[in-house]
């Protein structure tokens, strides 16, 4: 299965160009199979890397891929949101560049045992990026109250028919637990009026449950803010997002750190003392080119935002 990690990472050229890699310390918070990380190390022989991932298989694949750069990188099994602890363990206090690729890896989606895809009919409802985590998709689907399921589907999946889907999940599980991706996918399809159905109509529900299982949005704003503040002046942060909720959080943090005084305009002088910390390199997010989208359909919803520490 490890070989399936070896795909070209999303917007690789744009990320490497955006980071402006030179001699320094770089942080890849979502190493995956090591695609972006290997390109960072290849870009300058003076670059060193600290990288994290929650997935054991991803770390094993990254270790294999980064072998040619032995001595220049350290891998940690950790959530990137624990960056402060990771940097402390690595003996680093400042960074020259940060990359977060917030997408789910192709390997995870394609492995039917992981239960991420609505297309994997027989797969168990799992969806854990960290397989030691206690919360699974099955527990969310079969254990959460209807109002909580509705909130997750509405907020994390931006699902128009969240109410009907949540109601039908509760009804169905009263008969027997919902155990597979296929069962959940079929139930979602039944909950959506025929004229709105499509081959991918369960995608938003699966996204919502995956976000809940993995706590993907929890603490994201604080993490991005903190990572920006670990950068040396001139250091850059590149963040790849794959749905509007993540992108909105990143955009708002970048805007906040790109803003000077926030005192009311009626104040004669500044009393807040806030100083601009970031320069926005991308006023609008970069998106994949047509060729990349054709070669890798999963890249279509990707957005890349880049900022530089002042």
Residues 51 and 37: beta-carbon distance below 8 Å = yes
The domain segmentation of the chain, as residue ranges, is 2-102+217-309, 112-214
For residue 151, CA distances in Å to 138, 159, 163, 177, 205 come to 17, 10, 9, 21, 11
| DSSP states along 121-141 | TTSBS---SSTT-S--HHHHH
Q: What's the farthest any 2 CA atoms get from each other in the chain?
A: 67
pLDDT digits (tens, 9 = 90+) for 245-292: 999 999 999 999 999 988 888 898 989 988 999 999 999 999 999 999
pLDDT for 88: 98
**Which among 123, 155, 128 is positioned nearest to 139, based on CA atoms?**
128
pLDDT for 5: 54
Is 112-214 a CATH 1.20.1300.10 domain?
A: no
> What class is the 2-102+217-309 domain?
alpha beta
Q: Is the dihedral of CA 121, 177, 126, 292 positive or negative?
A: positive
**Rg of the Cα atoms in the chain:** 21
pLDDT for 171: 98
Residues 55 and 130: beta-carbon distance below 8 Å = yes
pLDDT for 3: 42
């Amino acid at each position: 299965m490890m070989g399936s990690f070896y795909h070209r990472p999303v917007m690789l050229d744009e990320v490497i160009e955006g980071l402006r890699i030179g001699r320094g310390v770089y942080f890849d918070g979502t190493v995956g199979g090591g695609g972006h990380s290997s390109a960072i190390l290849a870009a300058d022989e003076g670059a060193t890397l600290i990288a994290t991932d929650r997935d054991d298989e991803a770390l094993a694949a990254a270790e294999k891929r980064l072998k040619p750069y032995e001595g220049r990188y350290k891998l940690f099994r950790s959530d990137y949101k624990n960056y402060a602890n990771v940097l402390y363990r690595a003996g680093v206090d400042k960074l020259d560049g940060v990359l977060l690729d917030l997408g789910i890896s192709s390997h995870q989606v394609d492995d039917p045992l992981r239960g991420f895809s609505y297309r994997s009919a027989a797969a168990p409802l799992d969806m854990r990026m960290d397989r030691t985590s206690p919360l699974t998709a099955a527990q969310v689907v079969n254990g959460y109250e209807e109002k909580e399921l509705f909130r997750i589907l509405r907020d994390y999946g931006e699902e128009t028919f969240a109410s009907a889907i949540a109601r039908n999940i509760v009804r169905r599980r009263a008969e027997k637990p919902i155990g597979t991706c296929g069962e959940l996918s079929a139930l979602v399809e039944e909950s959506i009026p025929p004229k709105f159905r499509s081959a991918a109509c369960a995608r938003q529900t699966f996204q919502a449950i995956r976000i809940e299982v993995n706590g993907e949005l929890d603490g994201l704003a604080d993490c991005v803010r903190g990572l920006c503040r670990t950068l040396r002046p001139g250091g850059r942060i590149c963040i790849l997002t794959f749905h509007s909720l993540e992108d909105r959080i990143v955009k708002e943090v970048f805007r906040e750190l790109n803003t000077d005084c926030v005192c009311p305009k009626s104040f004669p002088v500044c009393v807040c003392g806030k100083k601009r910390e970031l320069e926005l390199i991308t006023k609008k997010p970069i998106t994949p080119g047509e060729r990349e989208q054709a070669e890798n359909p999963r890249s279509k919803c990707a957005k890349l935002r880049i900022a530089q520490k002042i």
